[in-house]
Amino acid sequence: MSLDIQLSDISRLDRIREVLAANDPRGQFTALGMQDLQIGDDVLDALAGITGHLLVAAGRSDDRTARVVMMADPVVILRGGQPLKPAVMARLDARFTTTAAILDDGHPVLHADEPILAEAAAAAQGADCIVSVGGGTITDIAKVAAERADVPVHIVIQTAASVDGYTDNFAVVLQNGVKKTLPSRWPDAVLTDTRTVADAPLVLNASGFGELLSMYSAPGDWFLSCEMGLDDTFAPVLIELLSRCGDGIAAWSGGIARGDHAACSRLATALALRGIVTGVGGTTASLSGMEHLFSHMLDMVAGEKGTATGLHGAQVGVGSVIRAAAWEEFCARMEEDGLDTARLFPGVESFEPRVRAAFSELDPSGRIGAECWSRYRTKLGLWHANRSRIEAAFANWVALRARHDALGLGSHAIAACLHRAGAATRFSDLEPLVDAELMRWVVANCQFMRERGSVADLLTLAGWWDEAGVARVLARVDAACAAAERGA
């Protein structure tokens, strides 16, 4: 299909709604609940006016009687060399009664766990509007707080092109030490201040670029899951919209490494469209496959050990190379060994000891092992229930592979894109440092973390995800990253 819409249409939300409505034959899309999206250098000048407009639309007063809570973490964010948050506070307090809720759990990076979610909801009680200022975590916390405290208006001020979660209706939170993506509410408005974004540390925008590149890996897992009965949400129109995000990427990606304003703005715009795609699709599956499992596993380890959490997008970028290499390895094994599909259906309960043992050292209490086994058992049950569908998919392997490969890029191409943008390509590029032992453990066990299917499940169920199989995939990753560094 060819959609009559461009990335430059991103702020025309009614136009996006029209395109989605015209390409939703099954009526599966969620209504786009965001009312305003502005990306530019002067969006802060419009903040008070937008807040007032949304308050009136929500039946609240547009004056000093309106209570606004500015929600943020303690991190100092600069705009043109000056602190941003006091400037936001001043703009709001000039017109409304405004208080600041600064959330701090003592970690270098705020965790969206239950204590912080409860604290945020308590701070928002009785408010007419939340204005969240910062990155993806504070945005997700504010989404949950707005729901729990029944705050009618939530405005997001995006300060870095670090993730795509600003413009969707999901929140990534910690449950029992394990990251989980939950349905949430749409922000009413998102203001992306491109001056602040361009001034953000390179590591943040490079992280966002890593997040962006999951559009070249995750759709493959989404497609496979739908073909094999694990998911019924696959929608070509969303893939078509995602393709707009990568327009001209070879020309502008290098500007991310240089902190170029135009490139950073372009990245922020692409991430905004990604967020909308996941939100209206009603699932993050279109952009969250094995590469996100890699990131979530690292975060889980950091949470259990009380160590610093790495940047999500940077981890996702590295994970995208891994996911692409894993698919290449699966295809190679199909050619070398062939596949008796009967091997794909071992007894469900036979995996319980393996899953629990995988997490026993990290959490001797067994809490995480039990949570992951619950999720993996659910996935295996659905897998067995769709045996005939899975066998039919593999019966036409050539067509299945061709349709999958049309949705993304190989490991070498993804690594090259990341390298151009100054983003992490290898696990050893990540901060905090991920050592080789942790890397192997994460890659070998990430499939046990979530109900959603991925190529790691195929490798596991085929019997190809042993120590040697993981080593083969990591060798492919090394080759792709080395080629990117050589400019090959």
Instruction: List, as own/partner pairs, every contact residues 454-457 make where C-beta atoms lie below 8 angstroms and the sequence separation is at least 24, other chains included.
Output: 454/221, 454/224, 454/225, 454/289, 454/290, 454/293, 454/323, 455/220, 455/221, 455/224, 455/289, 455/290, 455/323, 455/326, 455/327, 455/330, 456/290, 456/293, 456/326, 457/379, 457/383
Query: Is a pLDDT exceeding 70 seen at residue 181?
Result: yes
Going along the chain from its start, the domains and CATH numbers come out as 30-200 (3.40.50.1970), 218-233+283-486 (no CATH)
What was the pLDDT predicted at 179?
A: 74
* Alpha carbon of residue 23 to chain centroid: 24
Tell me what percent of the residues of the chain surpass a pLDDT of 70.
Answer: 99
Query: Is a pLDDT exceeding 90 seen at residue 308?
Result: no
What are the pLDDT digits (tens) for 266-296?
999 999 999 999 899 888 899 999 999 999 9
What was the pLDDT predicted at 294?
A: 96
What are the pLDDT digits (tens) for 336-383?
999 999 999 999 999 999 999 999 999 999 999 999 999 999 999 999
Over residues 403-410, the mean pLDDT reads 97
Rounded to the nearest integer, the mean pLDDT of the chain is: 94
The total number of residues shown for the chain amounts to 488
Neighbouring C-beta atoms of residue 52, cutoff 10 Å: 18
Tokens representing 427 are 């696990």
**pTM for the full model?**
0.88
- Structure-derived torsion over alpha carbons of residues 436, 449, 390, 354, reported in degrees to the nearest 10: 70
Over residues 170-182, the mean pLDDT reads 81
What was the pLDDT predicted at 1?
A: 52
Cα–Cα separations (whole angstroms), residue 460 to 118, 231, 318: 38, 19, 21
Q: Which residues touch 245 (CB under 8 Å, ≥6 apart)?
A: 7, 212, 215, 270, 271, 273, 274
What are the pLDDT digits (tens) for 22-47?
888 889 999 999 999 999 999 999 99
- Pairing mode of beta strands 178-183, 78-79: unpaired
Burial of 357 per CB tally in 10 Å (0-12, 13-18, 19+): exposed
20 vs 268, more confident? 268
Q: Which residues pair with 297 in a beta bridge?
A: none
Query: Is a pLDDT exceeding 90 seen at residue 418?
Result: yes
What was the pLDDT predicted at 180?
A: 81
Tell me what percent of the residues of the chain surpass a pLDDT of 90.
Answer: 85
Burial of 323 per CB tally in 10 Å (0-12, 13-18, 19+): buried
Whole-angstrom Cα distance, residue 286 to residue 284? 6
Q: Residue 94 in contact with residue 123, Cβ under 8 Å?
A: no
Q: Residue 19 in contact with residue 236, Cβ under 8 Å?
A: no
Whole-angstrom Cα distance, residue 264 to residue 258? 10
What was the pLDDT predicted at 488?
A: 66
What are the pLDDT digits (tens) for 132-163?
999 999 999 999 999 999 999 999 999 999 99
What are the pLDDT digits (tens) for 191-249?
999 999 999 999 999 999 999 999 999 999 999 999 999 999 999 889 988 889 988 99
Do you find a cis peptide bond into 115, omega within 30 degrees of 0?
Answer: no
What was the pLDDT predicted at 247?
A: 87
Query: Is a pLDDT exceeding 60 seen at residue 299?
Result: yes
> Could you write out the three-class secondary structure of the chain?
CCCCCCHHHCCCHHHHHHHHHHCCCCCCCCCCCCCEEEEECCHHHHHHHHHHHHHHHCCCCCCCCCEEEEEECCCCCEECCEEHHHHHHHHHHCCCEEEEEECCCCCCCCCCCHHHHHHHHHHHCCCCEEEEEECHHHHHHHHHHHHHCCCCEEEEEECCCCCCHHHCCEEEEEECCEEEEEECCCCCEEEEEHHHHHHCCHHHHHHHHHHHHHHHCHHHHHHHHHHCCCCCCCCHHHHHHHHHHCCCHHHHCHHHHHCCHHHHHHHHHHHHHHHHHHHHHCCCHHHCCHHHHHHHHHHHHHHHHCCCCCCHHHHHHHHHHHHHHHHHHHHHHHHHHCCCHHHHCCCHHHHHHHHHHHHHCCCCCCHHHHHHHHHHHHHHHHHHHCHHHHHHHHHCHHHHHHHHHCCCCCHHHHHHHHHHCCCCCCHHHCCCCCCHHHHHHHHHHHHHCCCCCCHHHHHHHCCCCCHHHHHHHHHHHHHHHHHHHHCC
